[in-house]
Amino acid sequence: MDRTLDEADASEYDALVLSGGVINPDQLRTNEKAISFVRDFFKQHKPVAAICHGPQILISAGAVNGRKMTSVKSVSIDLKNAGAIWEDSEVVTDNGLVTSRKPKDLHAFNAKIVEEIKEGRHEDQYI
């Protein structure tokens, strides 16, 4: 990272990647600046990717209802309760939204992120 949330503007980036872990997503999901930043990527139809516990941030941003997604098993119930269509796959893509389960899936996750960035804006990306 080279900017704080106060300095960052989604229009200056091609995509957003939300990493996993237990603590960071839990802290970011209650940070209104972080949630607003995430929403801006969806509003600008840019690719968004999340792995492991990262989708928790997307739940707080209101970006999962009706979306096909995956995550670590412990977040699956939260995603389903928020309206996501959860599946147990190494990587799931839904109109520019890329999700993966765990570090073991990083190869497929990274390859799919690159593909989505190459495709550019996804007009069907929504929030």
Per the CB < 8 A criterion, the answer to whether 116 and 65 are in contact is no
Tell me whether residue 82 is one of the annotated catalytic residues: no
Triad 86, 109, 92: Cα angle to 5°: 25
* Block residue for tokens 């804006």: 121
- Which residues in 10-89 belong to E strands, given as ranges? 16-18, 48-51, 68-69, 85-86
Catalytic residue among 16, 52, 58, 75: 52
Q: How far apart are CA 15 and CA 46, in angstroms?
A: 6
| Rg of the chain over all Cα atoms, to the nearest angstrom | 13
The catalytic site residues sit at 52
